[in-house]
Amino acid sequence: MLGKILTRLFALFGMSLTCVACYGTPYMGYDPDFVVSGRVVDEEGQPIKDISAEMNVVTRTDADGVFYLQGDTPQITFRDTDGEANGGEFETRTINLTTSGDLGDITLERKK
């Protein structure tokens, strides 16, 4: 009984490998124009978490202020959406992109 189950299992597994080998592995061929990363900091160079980083998609900075985005829009906007919760209220800042890569530290000023 166990032998029949194993034989059928291996036959099924072998068949699925054959199909992948014949037809390839499907994927979405998304090739973004811009792939950027960086770190959002305040005027003192301290990382700011939970800042919204927006292109044609939206992400948030992590506890170290780090973000990673990919998209087709040549602008990235940084927005403080949680008010005082991340250590203060910060001004919105937009950066025009010319190339992909690490943007380094992006400084946001506190609202006055």
Contact 63, 86 (CB under 8 A): no
Burial class (CB in 10 A: 0-12, 13-18, 19+), 90: buried
SS3 17: helix
Token pair for 4: 């029949």
- pLDDT tens digits for range 39-97: 999 999 999 999 999 998 899 999 999 999 998 889 999 999 887 776 778 999 999 99
- pLDDT tens digits for range 19-35: 555 555 555 666 788 99
Contact 50, 65 (CB under 8 A): no
Contact 87, 65 (CB under 8 A): no
Average pLDDT over residues 5-29: 57
What per-residue confidence (pLDDT) applies to 31? 72
What per-residue confidence (pLDDT) applies to 52? 95
Q: pTM above the 0.75 mark?
A: no
Token pair for 21: 């080998």
DSSP assigned state of 31: -
What per-residue confidence (pLDDT) applies to 11? 61
